[in-house]
Amino acid sequence: MNRTPPASLEEAQARLLALVSPMPVEHVDMEGALRHFLARPVIARRTQPSANLSAMDGYAVTSQDMAGPWQVIGESAAGRPFSGGVTAGQAARISTGAVLPRGADAVILQEDIARTGDVLTLSGEAPVPPHKHVRPRGLDFKDGQEVLARGHRIGPAQLALAISAGHKYLAVHRPPSVFVLDTGDELADDPENCAPHQIPASNGIMLAGMARMLPCKVTRVGPVPDTLDALATAFAKAEDADLIVTSGGASVGDHDLIKPALEAWGAKIDFWRVAIKPGKPILVATRQQDSGRPQIVLGLPGNPVSSHVTAYHFMLPLLRGLLGAARPVVRPLLMPLGAPLPRNGARRTFVRAHWDGISVIPQAVQDSSALASLAASNVLIDRPAQASELARGEMVEAFWLENGGIA
């Protein structure tokens, strides 16, 4: 019997991430970079904006003459700058985003101007101070400046910034290959043909879907019967996978065969229990590949909610580590309770709940087999061991589930 005390969540995560080194670096175009993490910082190759620009429609003048009247001598439009310059008593019609003419350092809004032919005079209140409606050169970033740090996740805004900084390609880590395997004699492959003694095999598609929230290459196999021969055949298909994720069979019961099957395959077992609920049994193993990189095996519980919670706290951080994320482990958010929470038990518990935009409300059913309450949840409330009862309106820490959480 294993008498080693279960590890805390943070201890187990640190132990798992210590096995991880980022995948090799490759350069991809902007379309292929989305959802990746930067392998190298993005350094600006240009200055943005590259000249002083107008932030509004109006007239460009010199701040040495803000009283007028002015003679309109030209126009500067976005993409079509005025080639001349302005001095006292002169103005150039200017549109938003257009380059300020030489000598101009102020923009008077068109609604503050009365125009008769090419002569301008002030109308209404005095114009705003100089530079108010000017976007100075380098306002966004300057040539040589780091605009995105290594390990930053690339979303649509980051793509736009990298392109604006003069980049066509970005350095990212190669997508890891993930092999997802669910096991159990009780699992039915066809949900439309499921005998009373069976349950549809849902964990594999769930875990594969979670992995695909990150840029991974996912292969799914199963369900696999609870025999050593069947498991050996399945593991043989995963020879080249960077990460193997199993659900079911990872505990120490008579029919839990993942551990002996991995040992027979040549994997080194590093098994621990984690002091969380749901999801206490976790199995971690490594196997050396011909490339020299360790192949990592993550064995998750078979109960679907336990499988989901442990995948959230272990599989996704591990994948983010392989992808070079600066912070592989997600951080909780503070949220007000929309309903009371009873005192917690001896294990740290992750309570399925729904954030409605105002408060977070725990689901009524918390059994580790109940998928309906999981599907209705968008957060996991983090309840420390022996936590006292909480009233409605008190603040709790909660992990955001959608898109794999906020890292």
- pLDDT tens for 357-376 read 999 999 999 998 899 999 99
% helix / strand / coil in the chain, to the nearest 5? 20, 35, 50
| Res. 252: pLDDT tops 60 | no
Mean pLDDT in residue range 82-91: 94
HSE-up of 143 (CA within 13 Å, CB side)? 6
Tens of pLDDT along 303-312? 999 999 999 9
Which helix (H) or strand (E) covers residue 134, if one does?
strand 134-135
**Alpha carbon of 130 to those of 99, 127, 212, 344, 345: distances in Å?**
16, 9, 52, 62, 65
Domain 9-24+174-322: assigned CATH number: 3.40.980.10
CATH number given to 333-404? 2.40.340.10
The ranges of the chain annotated as CATH 3.90.105.10 are 26-47+140-173
CB 120 within 8 A of CB 134: no
* Residue appearing with tokens 């995560």: 13
Fold classification of 26-47+140-173 (topology level) = Molybdopterin biosynthesis moea protein, domain 2 (3.90.105)
CATH, domain 53-135, list 1.20.1250.20, 3.40.50.2000, 3.40.190.10, 2.170.190.11: 2.170.190.11
For the chain, residues classed under CATH 2.170.190.11 are: 53-135
Where in the chain is CATH 3.40.980.10? 9-24+174-322
Question: Per-residue pLDDT for 176 more than 90?
Answer: yes
Instruction: Classify residue 202 by its DSSP letter.
Output: -
For β-strands 243-247 and 177-183, DSSP reports them as: parallel
CATH 2.40.340.10 in the chain, residue ranges: 333-404
What is the reported pLDDT for 406? Answer: 61
Who has greater pLDDT, 280 or 13?
A: 13
